[in-house]
Structure 1
Amino acid sequence: MNTADLGLPVAVPSTALFTDQYELTMLQAALRSGTADRRSVFEVFTRRLPEGRRYGVVGGTGRVLDAVENFRFDETILGFLRERGILDEPTLEWLADYRFRGDIWGYPEGEVYFPGSPVMRVEGTFAEAVLLETVILSILNHDSAVAAAASRMSVAAGDRPLMEMGARRTHELSAVAASRAAYVGGFHTTSDLAAGFRYNIPTVGTSAHAFTLLHDTERDAFTAQVETLGSGTTLLVDTFDVTEAVRTAVEVAGPGLGAVRIDSGDLLLIAHRVRHQLDELGAGKTKIVVTSDLDEYAIASLAAAPVDAYGVGTQVVTGSGHPTCSMVYKLVARADGEEPGTPLRPVAKKSMGAKTSHGGRKWAARRVDEDGVAVAEVIGTGPVPAELADRQLLVPLVSAGKVVAREPLDAARDRHIAARDRLPLSATQLSRGEPVLPTEYV
């Protein structure tokens, strides 16, 4: 029996080692120099969107909150750091009591973002905030990339359902995160049971070609599946001859057959042929599901085909060619002293080329036109203009170390659809182009 069933706490793995060593060595040096307790503000943003993308999608916020809560240095972790000689004893003692006690603000999960958008702002002492850099970036960069790819595929699919089925194409833990991010981006179901268990995402799945090949005949395989799962199941019809398989499928399951799946070949041509054949066989309500290395462009090319649902694997879990969003975590403001209430002053990296940052603790708002359509992403460090006061994008996520923004995953999914619908129509074009909104600094 799970300990939770007995009302006992369930052990949650620490996320403290999901970090880079230099964050800990910076901590040690800051403790030694007396600057560790300076109030600091870090922001997460990207300087550019992946090539050709018109908008980004914030994914992984809920997972970041979990990671921050579980960022703890227990005796095992401290022993590892001590054995490796990575840190001195005063720093290890400091880490033993580590809890993030600061504030985190951010764009709510599912919201869209653009170059420069401060999608997350972490405020606290330098010591407590700097340690969170890698774990926050690893989650947001991965999940936002998947969510953006999923969103584009959702646009291409229109009102046809999308099934995420890429678990076998990525790391087993990344697969669970990718399923979650794809759901935020507009997918409807997943084949990954771990994702279904952890995040309550609807799951789907029936059979593969191996099940057909196991049996002596295709009819035997179909019969076994229908007798087990019922006539509403989905039968895979491209193991041998599609036309013969469709005929056999309807004979075995009857006209109430739920769906047939096509996983290879010219999907546009085959889908038309199969639809015609199903109608002739009296299976007019049997649906057609297509899979086979689909991406947003392949899905869009099937818009005129008689397809009822899409199954997407590799391309969605790898961000459809853009597996990261290139988000960074930068110190943008800090106090000159350790005393509480010391004013913040802006700081920023001044590099040659495209890596220059904008200093200062920022707010963000989205300007809209008279029809409520977004026209600009506005970012500033001073007072918020009155006309943008009710258009601000950052919301409190963590307050004084306590998570204050838990929400169901469906809330993030619904938010994304609403945010995307408020963008200009050109945002949904799959052709390459610049971000659909300009970023204005005021």
Structure 2
Amino acid sequence: MSTSASWDHPRTSFYTDHYELTMLQASLHSGAAHRRSVFEAFARRLPDGRRYGIVAGTGRLLEGIADFRFGEAELDFLGRTGVVNRDTLDYLANYRFSGDIWGYPEGEAYFPNSPILIVESTFAEACMLETYLLSVLNHDSAIASAASRMITAAGNRPCIEMGSRRTHEESAVAAARAAVIAGFDSTSNLEAGFRYGIKTVGTAAHSFTLLHDTEREAFEAQIASLGPGTSLLVDTYDVEAAVRAAVELAGPRLGGVRLDSGDLVAQAQWVRRLLDELGNVNTNIVVTSDLDEFAIAALQSAPVDSYGVGTSLVTGSGAPTASMVYKLVSRTDDAGNFVSVAKTAKNKTSMGGRKYALRKLNERGVATQEIVGIGHRPEDDDNDRPLLQQFMKNGELLPGWTGHEGVVRARQRHADTMAELPGVVNRLQRGEPAIPTIYEEN
């Protein structure tokens, strides 16, 4: 399935901070703006107690960088408000990112200090991407990381993303995309379906039942319109009466019943027994109601067929940001040679130098270490998997990383990386990162 060609990406150049443009102006004044520079996005640590993170948002980011421009309206605002001077406005009028970008593919697991994204260009081009880049990666990776834990807790049972009403309208689209990358089956968000070819689902809310004089009339209307394979919401009034009415009206072809309140474990168990007694052995039970990975894990013993997850997912299930930072790690000197640079302040140190990243696997193909090195990447042995892929070259997008194709590719990458990680990632208990990050220097 392809996405519609009629959707236009918004201009992204103002999804940024004031100080990025003042840095640009000052560096143009000093003459250093055009020094070749290498920036790196990474997280110094995982959210407290998490054992791994999942990269998401790169495809959205790349689309946005391709459209990072300053038009007449933006230039007029910057000049009228005195944000930058005339020389800087002249530079911005012709801005277009012309550098190279590498990184971990979407869906890949990451660990503390993994070089998740590497941007090489002039300082002027690369520094202005900081806020936009971090906004996208921090949000989407936080959602994907939470979604991955929920998928792990759900086992083989599908999860539906349905949190749009609990976040900003654009965040909702991004969250749906990130959730599907991490293994969610579908989303309720139509815009995500439109942009990225994601499967959308939905039936009815309690208001639909309350609109009708009786619950039975509501069920009759839904079945007549959507077919007997629809899912009926059965907890508006009396659950048992609703289940019996649903079966009577739709028969054994009833697709599902949805439970949205009460003790979901106990309720799912007796609803399953009731459905089976009534001959609806193939009718599914869908549960919703403020689920997170822990609630999903608690429902493992219950006869639930799928989960609808909203608020906890779109807020990162307690970790709404991946805490990534974007740091200059290397730049050219006056002679044109690259030199490593790094911040050394207490508690916020970073490692200078252009990085490579490998994942070491044991003889069974299980990951044992995240290897981050500085300098030229050594020859790979049979147990090292390179992690960095190139996404942009000379400012041009390389194929396969964006749109629907990018989502499909990232979803497969997530499945593959989770199969490769040690079994400890399946535990929801707090713990250290699943594999250690080892530093090398050549």
> If the TM-score is normalised by the length of the shorter chain, which range does it land in?
over 0.9
Cα distance change on mapping 1:381 and 1:405 into 2, 3 Å: farther
Q: Which moved more, 1:274-283 or 1:389-398?
A: 389-398
Cα displacement string for residues 122-169 of structure 1 (whole angstroms, at most 9, x for unaligned residues): 001110110111111000000000000000000011111110000000
Matched residues, number: 432
**SS at the partner of 1:320?**
helix
Report sequence identity in percent: 60
Q: Give the TM-score taking structure 1 as reference length.
A: 0.96
CA shift at 1:415, angstroms? Answer: 0.6
1:155 and 2:152 correspond: yes
CA contact (8 A) 1:367 1:388 kept: no
Please give the per-residue CA displacement for 1:345-378, whole angstroms capped at 9, x wherever unaligned.
Answer: 10000111x2100000010101111111000000
Superposed displacement of residue 12, structure 1 = 3.9
Question: What residue is the counterpart of 1:369 in the other structure?
Answer: 362
Change (3 A) 1:46 1:10: closer
- Cα 1:294–1:12 change in 2 (3 A) is closer
1:235 maps to 2:232: yes
Residues 313, 10 of structure 1: CA spacing in aligned structure 2 closer, same or farther, 3 A cutoff?
Answer: closer
Q: Is the 8 A contact 1:396 1:405 kept in 2?
A: no
Q: Give the C-alpha shift of residue 343 in structure 1.
A: 1.4
1:288 aligns with 2:282: no
- Specify the alignment match of 2:255 in structure 1: 258
- Is residue 2:398 matched to residue 1:404? yes
* Structure 1: gaps spanning 5 or more residues: none
User: AA paired with 1:363?
Assistant: Y
1:392 aligns with 2:386: yes
* CA shift for structure 1 position 388: 4.7
Which residue identity lines up with residue 274 of structure 1 in the other structure?
A: V
In the alignment, structure 1 residue 97 sits paired with structure 2 residue 97: no
CA contact (8 A) 2:9 2:63 kept: no
TM-score normalised according to structure 2 size: 0.96
SS of the equivalent of 2:316 reads coil
Tell me how far apart the structure 2 counterparts of residues 13 and 359 of structure 1 sit (CA, whole Å): 34
- Pick aligned residue for 1:119 from 116, 119, 129: 116
Taking the TM superposition and a 5 Å limit, the aligned residue runs for 1:178-257 are 178-257=175-254
Q: Distance in 2 between matches of 1:310 and 1:32?
A: 56
- Would the aligned equivalents of 2:41 and 2:324 in 1 still touch at CA under 8 Å? yes
Q: Is the 1:48–1:115 contact (alpha carbons within 8 Å) kept by the matching residues of 2?
A: yes
From 5, 10, 14, the counterpart of 2:11: 14
Aligned partners of 2:375, 2:345: CA distance in 1, in Å?
24
CA displacement, residues 32-51 of structure 1 (integer Å, 9 cap, x when unaligned)? 01100111100000000001
Counterpart among 334, 344, 350 of residue 350 in structure 1:
344
Q: In structure 1, what is the equivalent of residue 25 of structure 2?
A: 28
Check the 8 A contact 1:191/1:204 in 2, yes or no: yes
Cα deviation for residue 406 of structure 1 reads: 2.8
C-alpha contact 2:7 2:195 (8 A) present in aligned 1: no
* 1:295-310 map, 5 Å: 295-310=292-307
Residue 420 of structure 2 corresponds to residue 426 of structure 1: no
What is the CA-CA distance between 1:387 and the residue it aligns to? Answer: 3.7
Q: 3-state DSSP class of the match of 1:255?
A: helix
Secondary structure at the aligned position of 1:377 is classed as strand
Residue number among 265, 268, 278 corresponding to 1:271 in the alignment: 268
Paired amino acid for 2:66: E
The whole-number CA distance in structure 1 between the counterparts of 2:214 and 2:8 is 49
1:183-213 deviation per Cα after TM superposition (whole angstroms, max 9, x unaligned): 0111010001111111111000000101111
Q: CA RMSD in A?
A: 1.3
Where structure 2 has 5 or more consecutive residues not aligned to the other structure, the ranges are none
